[in-house]
Amino acid sequence: MRISKHDSKVHSRGLLALGGTVGAGLAGGWILRLGAAAWPAWLVFAALLGVTAVAIAATIPWWRALDPMQKEAQLTSWYWGGIGGAAVVLMALIAAAGVTSDLAKGALYLFVGQGVAFSLYWLAWMLARRGSEA
C-alpha cells in the first residue's frame, strides 16, 4: 500500500517530534541527576521549564501537518483520555498510599496543575477567538 504525501509528511514530522521530545527528556534527566545536587532549586526548575518548552516546540511542526479530523481526534483523545487516566491513577495512588501520603499529594498537585493550565489555555483561546460583537 502506498502512503500518501500527507501521511508521509505527518509521519516524518512525527518522528522529528518524537526525537525532539526524547532528547528533551534526556536533557531533563541530566539536569535532574547532575544539576539538582549542585544548582539551587530555582535554577533546576528554570532549566526544566526550558526543556519542557523545547519538547513542546518540537511537536509544533507535526501538529501543523495534521488535517482537521486528525487534530480533533488528538484533542478529544487527550482531553477525555488524559482526564480519565489521571483520575484513575490519582484514585489508585490514594487507595494504595493513603490520602495524606506524599505520593497521593504529589499526584493531586499534578492533577490540579493540569486543571489550572487547561483553564488558562481555554481562557486565552476564547479571548483570542471572540468576535467583534464581544
- Per residue in 69-114, pLDDT tens? 999 999 899 888 988 998 898 899 899 999 899 998 988 888 888 8
Instruction: Please report, for the chain, the start and end positions of each structural domain, with discontinuous segments joined by +.
Output: 1-66, 67-134
Q: Which three cell numbers stand for residue 106?
A: 504529589
Nearest to 12 by CA among 69, 55, 61, 48: 61
Please enumerate in sequence order all residues whose Cβ is within 8 A of that of 19, keeping only pairs 6 or more positions apart, or say none.
58
Distance from CA of residue 8 to its chain's centroid? 24
CA dist 83 and 66 (Å) reads 23
pLDDT, tens only, 9-59: 888 888 888 888 888 888 888 888 887 788 898 888 899 899 999 999 999
